Amino acid sequence: MYTILLEIDGSADCLAAVQAAMSLTCLVPQSKVVAQCVLDTPAVWSFLGMGEPGLVGSGPYFQAFESIKTSLREMAETVLESYRARCENIKCFTDVVIDEGDWLTVVAERARMLQPLVLIGKFTLARVAKEANATPAEIAKAISYPVV
């Protein structure tokens, strides 16, 4: 069975990626889609700007971090539920996962586990490089599968 790793976030660009993945499953018999939604928790912690405890200690920052993470997980579940509903109409085999961590590391890890035929998402190497704070060459090295 061939696997298509689909990176989703609910955006308009993501919708195009979903449609591309669904089209590909129709063209490639015995294929399945694994839809992955990544909660970039290091980016959330960085956003809070809390490296070391300061005036108020880390407690309030940790509470804010947990609250944001819970909201992001709920949003990811909503996105994945919408994705599942679209898949029911197409009758394709699909799995959904929510992963937490550094975006590049998590996607590369999932790709290594699945060894997909292709990785489809709403990204370009330049965008991923910027968000992952890496060069396009580092991205290509970390994710050695065709990217659409």
At 101-118, the pLDDT tens digits run: 988 888 889 988 988 877
Q: Is the pLDDT of residue 37 over 90?
A: yes
| More confident call, 96 vs 129 | 96
* Structure confidence at residue 73 (pLDDT): 95
Mean pLDDT of the chain: 80
> Is the CB of residue 118 less than 8 Å from the CB of residue 4?
yes
The torsion angle over the Cα atoms of residues 117, 122, 125 and 130, rounded to 10 degrees, is -140
* Structure confidence at residue 87 (pLDDT): 79
Mapped onto helix, strand or coil, the DSSP state of residue 5 is strand
For residue 67, name the pLDDT band (cuts at 50, 70, 90). Answer: very high
What are the CA-CA distances from residue 12 to residues 4, 36, 61, 65, 87 (Å)? 20, 16, 32, 27, 17
Least reliable range by pLDDT among 37-46, 73-82, 124-133, 135-144:
124-133
For CA atoms 100, 106, 110, 116, the dihedral sign is positive
* Structure confidence at residue 71 (pLDDT): 95
Average pLDDT, integer, range 137-148 = 64
Does the pTM of the predicted model rise above 0.85? no
Q: Is the pLDDT of residue 100 over 60?
A: yes
* Structure confidence at residue 129 (pLDDT): 63
